[in-house]
Amino acid sequence: MTKFPSREGYALILAIMLVFIVMLLIISWVTFIKNRSRRIIHLEDSVQAFYNAESGLAKALWYLAGNGDVNFEVKNGVRTRTDTLFDNAGSIANIKTREHGFFTEIISEGKQGRFTETVKARIGCSNQGIFTNTCNILSPGILHIRGSVEGNIETRGVVDGNVKGEVIQNPSLVFPAISYGAISSGMAQYRSFIENPAQADTELFSPLVVDDKKDIPHKNIIYVNDVVLIENDDYSNPLTIEGSSIIVSPDEIQISGNVRLSGIDLVTYGRILITDDCIVKDAVLYSESEIELRKDAKFAGTILTKGGIKVCENVSILQNSVLLSNTDRSQIELDDRSYINGTIVLCPKVGLGKTVTSHIVVGQNVKVKGLLYSTTGVRLKGSVTGTIFTPTFIGEPAYPDTLNLNVLEGDVTVLNEKDFILPQIFSGMSRKLFSWEKE
Amino acid sequence: MKARCFLGLINENVIKSHNFPVKIKFGKDMYRSLFKSLKIPVKNTIGFTLIEVLIAIVIIAIVILPVTTILIKGTHSSRMVSKRQKAVFSAQEEMEKLLSVKGVVFSDSVYSVEQAKSIFYIKREVKNNQGLLTISIRVYQDTTEAPLAKLRVLTNQGSY
């Protein structure tokens, strides 16, 4: 009799296999559902974390407007504060503010559960009422237009020439008041960096020559008791340096070549020279002497000096930048195919017996978009899209009939841009948030 | 006569080794008659015994019961999760609408919105604290129940 292999237990194995497969399917399905629900539960927290960051921004603005019992911790000019929002310990915003080149920078970090979101923004002044007229002239004499003006002119005197707009004669014309206090305190803040090397995080006693990223110490304030040279001759490989440092030198600072600087402030008694295709952005340049930008350089930020400013040879100044000088002898000179988007202010202190010879010069082939504000005078040959506040236009000797006064040789047109932000140097202007970004 | 193999239990060799031809009664009792005439011990050829089947059923039953519970709960939770997701998106959408409109003072209100074929009720609350507004958005499927999503934000009243 032949014996056949036993098939007992076959159903059991089948059942176990079936159970195993079903269990596997169920486990993966349950894992998927669990992960999804965890993600959705956390979705609310992550969205709320973002709104906490936004709330921190709103609260910082509220504090800056003079509300609330403000108690900020101050270190190196950065004011920090942690706020519990909505009477709920789970919703927190860490607020950081600092004054940077006449704008206020705010960083707000919102926290909810294990989520953190960060938003950044800047505050400046809104341009309300600034760009109503293209020219605002205090001189009670005659304004001789030799170029073209497309827009209204408000003047204490009369206008001779072609105006595609209205001439408003206003003998009591006044300019938006500049807050000299804000300018002085801004300058004093940067001057104190030069006068007090003890404030610095690191002090160097030899020239700082940077031709590699590693050459700059990773410190907030770097004090160099000699010249600072940041240069790169390799035009195929840019030298990129990003951060939030201040390089202070009582001597000269020079940046040249294929260099990309971002967030690095330069403070000096001497001259600052930026030349040869350099790109410098989010920076404050402070000099007690002179600041010069040349040869295809690009800049975005604030230029602040007690001396002259020279911008020439195809230089571009971008993004609501500020060029401010309170020199009484030098000039703000914009020349040779340069383009400036921002606010140009010349505001020397005047006093009895003081001779002021400074003025703003806008050369031919120069384009300015924004505001030109001078308490002395403007010589305009290039084009301006925006508005000019000046006591008088200064003409070339080619206009003997006008005694070289009040001659406008360039072109002026209206700026139709509501989002143009001004620095916080004008009194009584409302604040405006801009440059909002989520990190 | 050749007997056919059914379910692989017997084959041609088996039939040969048991002195065929044998009379096989085809039909309902074919197997029984075949096994009887061949004198094959039945216990060695059967695949599933009754006990085996019973044990398998018990095992499957033990597994099926919690699995069914898990499936029901999982489906319910999946539906709830989906609802909450839609509710969070609705809350965010409403919040963005409010924040994008500057200079308008909003009041408390309850209204309904449609989000991915679901209807939700939005309860908006606005509190003013010296120019600092607290906007709270709660999203309900049924206003008598707990909110499915809740978002809050502080914003400035004014021209920032």
Hey, is the C-beta of A69 within 8 angstroms of any chain B C-beta? no
Domain map of chain A by residue range? 16-121, 135-438
Chain A segment 172-231 residues within 8 A of B by beta carbon are none
Q: What is the distance between the alpha carbons of residues A387 and A373, in angstroms, rounded to a whole number? A: 8
**Residue A354: Cβ-neighbour burial (10 angstroms; 0-12, 13-18, 19+):** exposed
What pLDDT is stored for residue B1 in this prediction?
40
The owner of tokens 């700059």 is A216
| pLDDT (tens place) for every residue of chain A, 439 residues total | 455 556 666 777 887 888 888 889 888 988 888 888 888 778 888 999 999 999 999 988 888 888 877 788 888 778 899 888 887 778 899 999 999 999 999 999 999 988 999 999 999 998 888 999 999 999 998 999 999 999 999 999 999 888 899 999 999 999 999 999 989 988 998 999 999 999 899 999 999 999 888 888 888 899 999 999 999 998 899 999 998 899 999 999 999 999 999 999 999 999 999 999 999 999 999 999 999 999 999 999 999 999 999 999 999 999 889 999 999 999 999 999 999 999 999 999 877 677 888 999 999 999 999 999 999 999 999 999 999 999 999 987 777 777 668 899 999 999 988 889 999 999 888 888 888 888 8
Q: Could you tell me the two tokens for B112?
A: 């309904």
Domain map of chain B by residue range? 1-46, 63-156
Hey, is the C-beta of A31 within 8 angstroms of any chain B C-beta? no
Going by C-alpha positions, the residue among A109, A111, A117 that lies closest to residue A91 is: A111
Candidates B56, B74, B81; nearest CB to A40: B81
* pLDDT tens string B82-115: 888 889 999 999 899 888 876 666 788 888 888 7
Chain B segment 18-37 residues within 8 A of A by beta carbon are none
CB < 8 Å to B74, chain A: 29-30, 33
- The answer to whether A93 and A52 are in contact (CB under 8 A) is yes
Whole-angstrom CA distances from A5 to A11, A12, A143, B44 are: 15, 17, 118, 7
Nearest chain B residue to A419 by CA distance is B160
Which residues lie below 8 Å from residue A294, measured CB to CB, with a gap of 6+? A273, A274, A275, A276, A310, A312, A313, A315
Hey, is the C-beta of B54 within 8 angstroms of any chain A C-beta? no
Which residues lie below 8 Å from residue A97, measured CB to CB, with a gap of 6+? A60, A64, A72, A78, A79, A104, A105, A106, A107
Hey, is the C-beta of B58 within 8 angstroms of any chain A C-beta? no
Candidates A30, A33, A43; nearest CB to B88: A43
The least confident of A234-243, A405-414, B14-23, B63-72 is B14-23
Q: Could you tell me the two tokens for A152?
A: 């209204």
* pLDDT tens string A397-427: 777 777 668 899 999 999 988 889 999 999 8
The distance of A388 to chain B (nearest Cα, Å) reads 25
The DSSP letter of residue A220 is S
Residues in chain B: 160
Candidates A55, A61, A65; nearest CB to B153: A55
**pLDDT tops 50 at residue B6:** no
Task: Report the CATH number of the B63-156 domain.
Answer: 3.30.1300.30
Q: Maximum distance among all alpha carbons in chain B?
A: 109
Hey, is the C-beta of A35 within 8 angstroms of any chain B C-beta? no
Q: Could you tell me the two tokens for A142?
A: 């005659």
The DSSP letter of residue A402 is G
Q: Could you tell me the two tokens for A359?
A: 């003025």
* pLDDT tens string B109-154: 888 888 777 888 999 998 888 888 899 999 998 877 888 889 999 9
A21 half-sphere exposure, CB direction, 13 A CA radius: 5
Going by C-alpha positions, the residue among B111, B116, B99, B81 that lies closest to residue B152 is: B99
CB < 8 Å to B14, chain A: 2
Query: pTM for this structure?
Result: 0.78
Candidates A11, A48, A61; nearest CB to B52: A11
CB < 8 Å to A14, chain B: 56
Hey, is the C-beta of B128 within 8 angstroms of any chain A C-beta? no
Cβ contact, residue pair A432, B9, below 8 Å: no
How would DSSP label each residue in A178-203?
B-HHHHHHHHHHHHHHHH-GGGSSEE
CB < 8 Å to A429, chain B: none
Mutate to test the interface with A, among B81, B125, B135 (most CBs of A within 10 A): B81
Whole-angstrom CA distances from B35 to A327, B22, B23 are: 120, 11, 11
Q: Could you tell me the two tokens for B129?
A: 């604290």
> No. of H helices and E strands in chain A?
2, 33
Q: What is the distance between the alpha carbons of residues A419 and A405, in angstroms, rounded to a whole number? A: 34
Candidates B46, B150, B153; nearest CB to A7: B46
CB pairs under 8 A between A and B: 124
SS3 A45: helix
ipTM: 0.75
Cβ contact, residue pair A62, B132, below 8 Å: yes
Per-residue exposure over A45-68, b if at least 16 CB sit within 10 Å of its own CB, e if not: bbbbbbbbbbbbbbbbbbbbbeee
The distance of A158 to chain B (nearest Cα, Å) reads 37
* A398: Cα separation from own chain's centroid: 39
What pLDDT is stored for residue A432 in this prediction?
86
Q: What is the distance between the alpha carbons of residues A367 and A379, in angstroms, rounded to a whole number? A: 14
Hey, is the C-beta of B53 within 8 angstroms of any chain A C-beta? yes
What residue type is assigned to position B91 of the chain? Answer: A
Q: What is the distance between the alpha carbons of residues A104 and A63, in angstroms, rounded to a whole number? A: 13
What pLDDT is stored for residue B8 in this prediction?
43
- The answer to whether A382 and A369 are in contact (CB under 8 A) is no
Mean pLDDT across B33-46:
56
How would DSSP label each residue in B21-77?
------STTHHHHHHHHHT--GGGT-SS-HHHHHHHHHHHHHHHHHHHHHHHHHHHH
Mutate to test the interface with A, among B10, B90, B156 (most CBs of A within 10 A): B156
Q: How confident is the model at residue B7 (pLDDT cuts 50, 70, 90)?
A: very low
SS3 B120: strand
- The answer to whether A384 and A412 are in contact (CB under 8 A) is yes
Cβ contact, residue pair B77, A41, below 8 Å: no
Hey, is the C-beta of B72 within 8 angstroms of any chain A C-beta? no
Hey, is the C-beta of A43 within 8 angstroms of any chain B C-beta? yes
